[in-house]
Amino acid sequence: MARRELKQERAERTRAMVVEAAADVFGQLGFAGASVSKIADRAGVTLGAVYFHFRSKDELARHIVSRQPELVVPPHSSQGLQHAIDVTLTWAYQLPVDPFLRAGARLVWEQEQFVPREENSHQQWTSIMADNLRAAQARRELKASTDIEAVARLVVNACTGAQMHSYVETVHTDLPNRVAEMWQCLLPAIAVPSALSRISIDESRGRAG
Amino acid sequence: MARRELKQERAERTRAMVVEAAADVFGQLGFAGASVSKIADRAGVTLGAVYFHFRSKDELARHIVSRQPELVVPPHSSQGLQHAIDVTLTWAYQLPVDPFLRAGARLVWEQEQFVPREENSHQQWTSIMADNLRAAQARRELKASTDIEAVARLVVNACTGAQMHSYVETVHTDLPNRVAEMWQCLLPAIAVPSALSRISIDESRGRAG
């Protein structure tokens, strides 16, 4: 293997270690409590190595927040309204065990310190949820009266509140249950009867196998 | 006025100043960032004066969190489902301008540090919302299929998420709008048609005059 490739491989490995360490540190200490030197220590690399890959603590935090949606991939293939539900159940199931999602949840209430207002995680998730609901609408699963954007905002708000309260009460253990319950309350308002009878909000939709 | 009464009056005034200062400090710095000495400084009293009234920073924070519901008194008289809605709209309207409610909102995600698990603000508000929904049920305003406890949890979760995201995006300015929108989405699932036609979710329900 050529020398340049070896060097690049090592750089990529270091970058991944830094991001992983940042997720741990942000998840434990939040944005205000974290520092680049704590992240370097946790990763076992020099300060210079962190700054080679990221310009600042802000950039590291933005990176972790912006990656959240791509980490949530439902284990069961689905479309339309079922997919919208599956995304939330998968997130709820993974959150307690995924350091990146835990960091994202911890950073959400400090994000005005490092994320431009229009790129915050609420906007990001609302836009994904609205896309999923539009797909559901195209499949004629939603009532004509459904306000897609409003429902998307409600789902994201309710999931945010659920994860906060679930953390305080059960360290996120009952989060899938709370998310399923949210859909149970909401579906009669938005889904047509034929869709309602097909849709599953069973928590296992968020788990592989 | 007798000497003892004067003394008691002065003690009560000091206590109120301490609580007010605590709300300011918690609202700005959160639980972790606050300290009894910062609160004493803000109140313009000695450390001893604070400790005369409150044993610890924890007790001050618990006091502020537990007082939240009594601060939210809808300006327009109402009952049942309308009252449930009015409580949330009043909270949404007062939050940006009331230092006690702002402190409560800021403390919500740190409360596992000072509130016993079963007394947290989520439980507190959910129980109030469930009572209001049960009153609505007694007035035959709710569909028979409505799961009161589940809807109460959803409303509290959605309000929590809405206030967090509204803070990041508009410093709480659009919160009444987000809360009204939540009810707009949710009501078709829970209210019978005759109630739906009477209920108002106009933001002005949360404002006096």
The pLDDT value given to residue B1: 57
Share of chain B above pLDDT 90, in %: 76
Question: Residue A119: phi, psi to the nearest 5?
Answer: -110, 15
Share of chain A above pLDDT 70, in %: 99
Mean pLDDT value of segment B27-34: 90
pLDDT above 80 for B58: yes
CATH superfamily ID and name for A3-54? Homeodomain-like (1.10.10.60)
The mean pLDDT value of chain A amounts to 93
- Tell me the per-residue pLDDT of A16-40, one tens digit each, with 9 for 90 and over: 999 999 999 999 998 988 999 999 9
* Residues on chain B touching A160 (C-beta within 8 angstroms): 157, 160-161, 164-165
The pLDDT value given to residue A122: 87
The two three-digit tokens of residue B183, written as one number: 């009810």
Mean pLDDT value of segment A71-77: 93
The mean pLDDT value of chain B amounts to 93
Q: What is the dihedral of CA B22, B24, B29, B31, to 10 degrees?
A: 30
What stretch(es) of chain B map to CATH 1.10.357.10? 68-206
Closest-CA residue of chain B to A160: B161
The pLDDT value given to residue A161: 94
Q: What is the dihedral of CA A96, B159, B120, B99, to 10 degrees?
A: 120
**Per the CB < 8 Å rule, is B168 touching A122?**
yes
Integer-rounded Cα radius of gyration of chain A: 19
pLDDT above 90 for A79: yes
CATH architecture of the domain formed by A73-206: Orthogonal Bundle (1.10)
CA–CA separation, A39 vs A107, rounded Å? 15
What stretch(es) of chain A map to CATH 1.10.357.10? 73-206
Contact B201, B183 (CB under 8 A): yes
> Which of B112, B165, B168 faces A168 most closely, judged by CB atoms?
B112
The two three-digit tokens of residue B31, written as one number: 């639980």
Assign 3-class secondary structure to B86-116: HHHHHHHHHCCCCHHHHHHHHHHHHHHHCCC
pLDDT band for position A106 (50/70/90)? Answer: confident
Mean pLDDT value of segment B84-102: 95
Residue with tokens 């601060």: B71
* Residues on chain A touching B117 (C-beta within 8 angstroms): 168-169
Closest-CA residue of chain A to B171: A112
The pLDDT value given to residue A167: 87
* Residues on chain B touching A32 (C-beta within 8 angstroms): 33
**Per the CB < 8 Å rule, is A157 touching B151?**
no
* Residues on chain B touching A162 (C-beta within 8 angstroms): 153, 157, 161
CATH architecture of the domain formed by B68-206: Orthogonal Bundle (1.10)
Q: Enter the ipTM.
A: 0.90
- Tell me the per-residue pLDDT of B131-180, one tens digit each, with 9 for 90 and over: 999 999 999 999 999 999 999 999 999 999 999 889 888 889 999 999 99
Residue type for position A97: V
CA distance A34 to chain B (A): 14
Closest-CA residue of chain B to A185: B151
> Which of B122, B159, B187 faces A168 most closely, judged by CB atoms?
B122
pLDDT band for position B3 (50/70/90)? Answer: confident
Contact A92, A74 (CB under 8 A): no
Share of chain B above pLDDT 70, in %: 99
**Per the CB < 8 Å rule, is B154 touching A186?**
yes
Residues of A with CB under 8 A from a CB of B: 32-33, 108-109, 111-112, 117, 120, 122-123, 145, 147, 150-151, 153-154, 156-162, 164-165, 167-169, 178, 181-182, 184-190
pLDDT band for position A114 (50/70/90)? Answer: confident
Residue type for position B171: V
Contact A82, A132 (CB under 8 A): no
CA distance A14 to chain B (A): 32
CA–CA separation, A125 vs A108, rounded Å? 12
* Residues on chain A touching B130 (C-beta within 8 angstroms): none
Q: Most A CBs within 10 Å: which of B88, B145, B165, B178, as the mutation test of the A interface?
A: B165
Q: Residue A88: how many CB atoms within 10 A of its CB?
A: 28
* Residues on chain A touching B160 (C-beta within 8 angstroms): 157, 160-161, 164-165
* Residues on chain A touching B122 (C-beta within 8 angstroms): 164-165, 168-169
**Per the CB < 8 Å rule, is B189 touching A186?**
yes
The pLDDT value given to residue A48: 95
> Which of B120, B153, B184 faces A168 most closely, judged by CB atoms?
B120
What stretch(es) of chain A map to CATH 1.10.10.60? 3-54
Closest-CA residue of chain B to A170: B117
CA–CA separation, B93 vs B180, rounded Å? 11
CA–CA separation, A67 vs B121, rounded Å? 31
- Residue A82 exposure: Cα atoms within 13 Å on the Cβ side: 16
Q: B22 or A5: whose pLDDT is higher?
A: B22
Q: A203 or A54: whose pLDDT is higher?
A: A54
The pLDDT value given to residue B191: 97
The pLDDT value given to residue A1: 58
Look at phi and psi of residue A72 and say left if phi exceeds 0, alpha if psi is from -120 to 50, else beta.
beta
Share of chain A above pLDDT 90, in %: 76
pLDDT above 80 for B209: no
Chains A, B: CB pairs < 8 Å? 121
> Which of A111, A159, A161 faces B156 most closely, judged by CB atoms?
A161
The pLDDT value given to residue B78: 95
Nearest by Cα to A23 from A71, A55, A87, A90: A71
Q: B119 or A53: whose pLDDT is higher?
A: A53
CA distance A151 to chain B (A): 6
